[in-house]
């Protein structure tokens, strides 16, 4: 199987942290990328790529940008916890424009979902990818809704999706939580490549974390269908980071960490989730 897609690939959120990493890495593999973002692209445009500034709110622009593309790697939008009114435009309406474009082009969507769509699962429990969504804020809620939108477009229109439930994608882990949730840039790039080039993926979710010994939160996802296995590990940072804790019981209890604690207003402790069969 070739690791180079036959058609150009649209990459949204190209000017963001992960967009810049992927634009560089995929272009170096000879991919033809249509890069877009609401912010200017801060680096030299890689060979074989073009960049167009666009707002995800503009459905006509998104349709035009997707013309002739075989896949859309969708990273654009609000990427942190923000008030509802700020999240809904880019992350819900913007995603709808992406799916309409994918439907028209018969393109696959690789959607940057997030661990925050399942952030209120206990860290002590290991959950499969088809577990209940337990979003930890408006941002996580938009990612859960986004996955549901992808599922609807698969069942109703045959639009394929890979949902990347990214943990913490950055050059290095920086605290004890990331000893579990860290996803190296190399593993992210491999995951995105497999998500684009593997034939007939249907609609699958994959936990986006490297091969970290402490990653005991998640199991059973679509990685085998993609032929993806992470290679990197946060383990070498254990001695340095294992005591870098928040001191906040809510943050340390749940998968979503600090996002769970933002605006947390329960008087009593949150109940443990016990509604999903088969969770161990």
Ligand X SMILES: NC(=O)c1ccc[n+]([C@@H]2O[C@H](COP(=O)([O-])OP(=O)(O)OC[C@H]3O[C@@H](n4cnc5c(N)ncnc54)[C@H](O)[C@@H]3O)[C@@H](O)[C@H]2O)c1
Cβ neighbours of residue 170 under 8 Å, at least 6 residues apart? 17, 178, 182, 185
244 within 8 A of 93, measured Cβ to Cβ: no
Could you give the C-alpha distances from 118 to 66, 80, 115, 217, 237, in angstroms and in order?
Answer: 30, 15, 6, 11, 25
Q: Is 16 in the site for ligand X (CB under 6 A)?
A: yes
**Is residue 139 among the annotated active site residues?**
yes
Residue span 153-172 as binding mask against ligand X, x where in contact by CB under 6 A, dash where not = -------------x-xx---
CA end-to-end distance (rounded Å), the chain: 36
Q: How far is the CB of 164 from ligand X (least distance, A)?
A: 8
Torsion sign over Cα 59, 64, 70, 71: negative
Residue span 169-208 as binding mask against ligand X, x where in contact by CB under 6 A, dash where not = x---------------------------------------
Select from 5, 9, 15, 117 the one that contacts ligand X (CB under 6 A).
Answer: 15
Burial of 252 (0-12, 13-18, 19+ CB in 10 A): middle
Q: How far is the CB of 93 from ligand X (least distance, A)?
A: 9
CA distance 67 to 10: 9
Select from 29, 57, 148, 245 the one that contacts ligand X (CB under 6 A).
Answer: 57
Select from 10, 18, 34, 250 the one that contacts ligand X (CB under 6 A).
Answer: 18
Catalytic residue among 96, 99, 139, 185: 139
Q: How far is the CB of 182 from ligand X (least distance, A)?
A: 9
Q: How far is the CB of 95 from ligand X (least distance, A)?
A: 10
Catalytic center residues: 139
């Amino acid at each position: 199987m070739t690791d180079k897609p036959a058609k150009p690939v649209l990459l949204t959120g190209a000017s963001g942290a992960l967009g810049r990493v992927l634009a560089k890495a995929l272009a170096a593999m000879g991919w033809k990328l249509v890069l877009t973002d609401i912010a200017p692209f801060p680096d030299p445009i890689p060979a074989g790529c073009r960049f167009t500034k666009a707002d995800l709110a503009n459905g006509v622009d998104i349709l035009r940008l997707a013309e002739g593309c075989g896949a859309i790697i969708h990273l654009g939008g609000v990427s942190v916890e923000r008030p509802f009114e700020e999240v809904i435009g880019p992350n819900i309406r913007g995603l709808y424009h992406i799916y309409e474009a994918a439907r028209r082009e018969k393109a696959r969507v690789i959607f940057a979902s997030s661990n925050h769509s399942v952030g209120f699962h206990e860290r002590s429990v290991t959950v499969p990818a088809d577990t209940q969504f337990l979003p930890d804020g408006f941002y996580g809620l938009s990612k859960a809704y986004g996955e549901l939108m992808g599922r609807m477009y698969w069942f109703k229109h045959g639009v394929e999706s890979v949902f990347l439930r990214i943990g913490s994608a950055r050059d290095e882990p920086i605290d004890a939580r990331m000893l579990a949730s860290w996803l190296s840039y190399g593993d992210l790039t491999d995951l995105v490549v497999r998500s684009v080039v593997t034939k007939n993926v249907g609609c699958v979710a994959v936990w986006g974390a490297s091969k970290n010994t402490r990653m005991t939160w998640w199991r059973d996802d679509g990685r085998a269908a993609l032929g993806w296995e992470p290679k990197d590990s946060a383990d070498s940072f254990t001695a340095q980071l294992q005591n870098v804790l928040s001191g906040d019981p809510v943050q340390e209890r749940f998968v979503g960490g600090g996002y769970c604690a933002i605006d947390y207003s329960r008087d009593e402790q949150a109940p443990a989730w016990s509604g999903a069969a088969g969770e161990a």
